[in-house]
Amino acid sequence: MSKGWVNTQKLLEEMGEGVLEAGKKALAEGAEMVVQEAKNRCPVYKGSDHRVVPGALRDSIRAVKKKCGAEYKITADAETQDGLKYGRLVEFSPRINKPFMYPAMDAQREAVKDRIVEAVKAAVRRTK
């Protein structure tokens, strides 16, 4: 092997690590974009049931990192004062009919994808 040659395996390993980290960082930023969109869309309870704290559902929305940052779960897990979790009820109940999580994900899907693609492209360019 001549002096001018680069070890291909080493180069790919270095590139892979940088690209992976860039993708994870962009995914974390994208998850936060979805969280903010969901909070903006989340209905605030205005009823008379004193077990429900107005704004608690919106305030409970967060991104939870899974699998070393390669996956995120967006949750809305507010509870009534007697322990009933009601995020899913608000999202899926035909009686309430106020979905906010899925519309937030749909609204941000392309922006998150574009952010990840651009971050990975930039990381690849940096390693060349």
Contacts of residue 97, defined as CB under 8 A and 6 or more positions apart, other chains included, come to none
pTM comes to 0.83
Give the 3-state secondary structure of 53-105.
CCCHHHHHEEEEEEHHHCEEEEEECCECCCCCECHHHHHHCCCCCCCCHHHHH
Tokens 């903006």 identify what position? 40
What residues does 74 pair with on adjacent strands?
63
Residues 97-112 pLDDT 10s:
999 999 999 999 999 9
User: CB–CB of 114/13 below 8 Å?
Assistant: no
Q: Which pLDDT belongs to residue 2?
A: 41
Q: Which residues of the chain have pLDDT under 50?
A: 1-4
Look at residues 94, 107, 96, 93 and name the one whose alpha carbon lies nearest to residue 40: 107
Q: Kindly report the CA angle at 59 between 32 and 65, in degrees rounded to 5?
A: 40
